[in-house]
Structure formats: structure tokens, C-alpha cells
Amino acid sequence: MDLGKLNDLDNEELKSYLKFLLWHYRVVDGFWFLSVEKRYDRPSAEHLDEVVWAKIAGMSAQDIIHRFHIKEKGLRGFAEAMKYCPWTMIVGYHIEESDDEVILTAPKCVTQVARVKHGLPEFYCRDMHLREFESFAHAIDPRIKVECIFAPPDHPPDCFCKWRFKVQ
């Protein structure tokens, strides 16, 4: 890969470019979903989103493990890897760690907020995130179990989704 102009950027410019890339990562994902939803229907877009993220999340976790030398398994390794996940940064996931579980919450979901802002209903993302989080977690440690506490469109007004991760 030729990094071209990126080789000339200083630390602040690289951070700015990273924010640009993360923003585009989210925008591409959003427009992909909206295009499938418009061409077919929302359940088809939700299903394809589930299939795609189930595959990509595990690949992402494996790359994160390798790039950032994450050796730990279990919940500690999972939480550490999640901190490098692009969606953790994009969504602003909160990660609460304890000895026997990790709780992941999204106080605000930029994707769902954008849909509502443009007159669209929240979409059902529970299955997609379940497959995504299982794929990511199992790349760290196959013993990790994922439980959805709540997710759109069924969630309290002050939090969009909440997930529990445990080792069994």
C-alpha cells in the first residue's frame, strides 16, 4: 500500500485524517443500508447488514489482535480489542469492565439519530449487532457469550443499546 501524502503529515494532521476516515466509514455504511432499503425493503437491508457485519467483525478483531499485540483472551482481551474497533470510536460506546462481565452501551447512536432526523424510523439492529459482537468476541475468545439487554427500536430514551459479554 502506498501511503503517499500521509507520509508528510504530522501527528495532528494524521488524527484529523483519521477522523475523516471514520466519518466516511460510517457514511458509506449508512448509504449502503439506505440504498438496499430503498431498492428492496428494510428487512432485506437489515438481513444483509447482519450477514456483512458477522463476517467483517471477526476479520476486524483478528487484525486488531495482530496490529496491537493483544495477547489476552477472555473479557480483558475482548475489552482491550473493542477499544480499537472503529465503531467504538464512531458510536462512542461505553465499555464497563468487571471480573465477570463487560457491559457495552451506546448512550447515543449516530445511525439511528440520523434516520429519525431524516424522517425514517429506527431500524431493527439487534440481530446484526448480535452477529457482529459474537464474531468480534469469538475471534478474541470463543468462550465469550453475548447477550442483548436492549437495542433499537426498543430502548429507553436515554440509551440506545446495551450488551452484556460473559465467559462461560
pLDDT digits (tens, 9 = 90+) for 108-161: 999 999 999 999 999 999 999 999 999 999 999 999 999 999 999 999 999 999
pLDDT > 70 fraction of the chain, expressed in percent and rounded: 100
**Phi-psi region at 84: left, alpha or beta (left = phi > 0; alpha = psi -120 to 50):** alpha
* Class at the top of the CATH hierarchy for domain 10-167: alpha beta
Query: Domain locations in the chain?
Result: 10-167
Rounded to the nearest 5 degrees, what angle is found at the Cα of 65, between the Cα atoms of 62 and 70? 155
Instruction: List Cβ neighbours of 98 (8 Å cut-off, separation of 6 or more).
Output: none
pTM, whole model, 2 decimals? 0.93
Q: What is the pLDDT of residues 42-59, one digit of tens each?
A: 999 999 999 999 999 999
